[in-house]
């Protein structure tokens, strides 16, 4: 076997390391204390959000006689100014938050990865993409959200666009760094010498070696997305009431915090649990990357 063919074979084995052995690493990391806490908490929240119509068949606008009631057995988080159960609205608001995170963040990961790896096709294209990522990164997430809302108005779609765009630079830079780190590796150079197409090199060698970090970045972006939704909704630029979200409930609760402190505590607790769940999962995935 020639040195060139041997180098390509080594590259393939490294690329396949993300497969079976890679999944085993993730399984071990997610079975750690932080991983289990994060997964169980996240699974509980997702399960409650999915089953919300079954748990609360009356919907999030069902009213009772008491307004701004304290926490009771029937209303663990109390009621709002219209007598609506805050726990019910918080769970339905969690559905809105999760729908944003589980659609916007994967889209951001795909676009960021494609842009980051574009430098493998053309050096000029890669340099232009880097400048584009710098421009996007120059806008803080909340400022970017203000610009999007100013153009489109408040609602679910502007939040989706803001979360998706804000995550592109971090994913794109990591993907580009992975390509720059591997373009001079022996197995990549050997594949080029053998006439392997750039697309095949990207798919067979570069992308599998970059996926570890991209997954960790994606978990971190989930946390960032939670804060973006909460930050914009608290100032009235998020989901339009009466549709609830965790940020919308915090916005409403702050106006009645002296009359009913539990109005804020309930949604804030769910927001905290969601953030911690994604943070623990991100830490566990990062442990798997470090193990590699």
Encode the chain in three state secondary structure. Answer: CCHHHHHHHHHHHHHHCCCHHHHHHHHHHHCCHHHHHHHHHHHHHHHHHHCHHHHCCCCCCCECCCCCCCCCCCCCCCECCCCEEHHHHHHHHHHHHHHHHHHHHHHHHHHHHHHHHHHHCCHHHHHHHHHHHHHHHCCCHHHHHHHHHHHHCCCHHHHHHHHHHHHHHHHHHHHHHHHHHHCCCHHHHHHHHCCCCHHHHHHHHHHHHHHHHHHHHHHHHHHHHHHHHHHHHHCCCCCCCCCCCHHHHHHHHHCCCCCCCHHHHHHHHHHHHHHHHHHHHHHHHHHHHHHC
Which tens digits make up the pLDDT trace of 215-261?
Answer: 889 999 999 999 999 999 988 888 888 889 999 999 988 888 888 88
Q: Which of 154-168, 175-189, 230-244 has the highest mean pLDDT?
A: 154-168
In a domain, 88, yes or no: no
CATH of the domain at 280: 1.10.3720.10
Q: Nearest CA to 291 among 8, 18, 7, 10?
A: 18
Q: How far apart, in whole angstroms, are the C-alpha atoms of residue 246 and residue 231?
A: 10
Domain with 232, as residue range(s), is 3-50+96-253+261-291
Confidence label for 22 from pLDDT (cuts 50, 70 and 90): low
What pLDDT is stored for residue 21 in this prediction? 57
In a domain, 69, yes or no: no
CB 141 within 8 A of CB 166: yes
Q: Does residue 119 carry a pLDDT above 90?
A: no
Instruction: Say which residues have a Cβ less than 8 Å from residue 105's Cβ, sequence separation at least 6.
Output: 163, 164, 167, 218, 221, 222, 225
Q: What is the pTM of this model?
A: 0.86
CB atoms within 10 A of CB 24: 12
What pLDDT is stored for residue 171 in this prediction? 93
Q: Does residue 66 carry a pLDDT above 90?
A: no
In a domain, 103, yes or no: yes
What pLDDT is stored for residue 17 in this prediction? 47
Q: Write phi, then psi, for 82 (nearest 5 degrees).
A: -105, 10
Based on the structure, what is the number of domains in the chain?
1
What pLDDT is stored for residue 7 in this prediction? 45
Q: How far apart, in whole angstroms, are the C-alpha atoms of residue 288 and residue 159?
A: 31
Angle (nearest 5°) at CA 281 between 279 and 285: 115
In a domain, 170, yes or no: yes
In a domain, 55, yes or no: no
How far, CA to CA in Å, does 234 sit from each of 51, 104, 251, 259, 268? 26, 20, 4, 19, 12
Q: Does residue 214 carry a pLDDT above 50?
A: yes
What pLDDT is stored for residue 260 in this prediction? 85
What pLDDT is stored for residue 236 in this prediction? 85
What pLDDT is stored for residue 261 in this prediction? 86
In a domain, 56, yes or no: no
Tell me what the pLDDT averaged over the chain comes to: 85
What pLDDT is stored for residue 292 in this prediction? 60
Confidence label for 20 from pLDDT (cuts 50, 70 and 90): low
Average pLDDT over residues 185-206: 76
What pLDDT is stored for residue 58 in this prediction? 86
Q: Does residue 13 carry a pLDDT above 50?
A: no
In a domain, 157, yes or no: yes
Instruction: Say which residues have a Cβ less than 8 Å from residue 52's Cβ, sequence separation at least 6.
Output: 88, 91, 92, 94, 95
What pLDDT is stored for residue 32 in this prediction? 85
Using a pLDDT cut of 90, give the percent of the chain over it.
Answer: 40
Q: How far apart, in whole angstroms, are the C-alpha atoms of residue 257 and residue 61?
A: 21
In a domain, 58, yes or no: no
Q: How far apart, in whole angstroms, are the C-alpha atoms of residue 76 and residue 157?
A: 31
């Amino acid at each position: 076997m020639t040195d060139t063919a041997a180098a390509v074979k080594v590259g393939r084995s490294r690329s396949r390391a993300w497969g079976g052995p890679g999944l085993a690493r993730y399984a071990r990391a997610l079975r750690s204390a932080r991983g289990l806490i994060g997964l169980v908490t996240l699974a509980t929240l997702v399960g409650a959000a999915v089953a919300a119509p079954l748990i609360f068949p009356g919907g999030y606008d069902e009213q009772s006689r008491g307004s701004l009631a304290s926490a009771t057995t029937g209303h663990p988080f109390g009621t709002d100014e219209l007598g609506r159960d805050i726990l019910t609205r918080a769970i339905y608001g969690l559905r809105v938050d999760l729908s944003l995170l589980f659609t916007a963040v994967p889209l951001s990961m795909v676009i960021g990865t494609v842009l980051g790896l574009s430098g493998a096709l053309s050096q000029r294209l890669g340099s232009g993409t880097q400048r584009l990522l710098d421009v996007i990164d120059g806008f803080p997430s909340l400022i970017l959200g203000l610009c999007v809302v100013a153009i489109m108005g408040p609602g679910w779609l502007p939040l989706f666009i803001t979360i998706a765009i804000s995550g592109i630079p971090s994913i794109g830079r990591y993907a580009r760094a992975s390509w720059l780190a591997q373009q001079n590796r022996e197995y990549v150079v050997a594949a080029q010498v053998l006439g392997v197409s750039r697309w095949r090199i990207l798919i067979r060698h570069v992308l599998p070696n970059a996926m570890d970090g991209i997954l960790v970045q994606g978990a971190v972006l989930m946390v960032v997305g939670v804060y973006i939704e909460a930050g914009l909704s608290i100032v009235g630029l998020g989901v339009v009431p009466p549709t609830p979200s965790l940020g919308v409930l915090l916005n409403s609760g702050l106006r009645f915090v002296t009359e009913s402190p539990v109005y804020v505590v309930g949604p804030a607790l769910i927001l905290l649990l969601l953030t911690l769940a994604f943070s623990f999962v991100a830490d566990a995935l990062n442990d798997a990357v470090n193990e590699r």
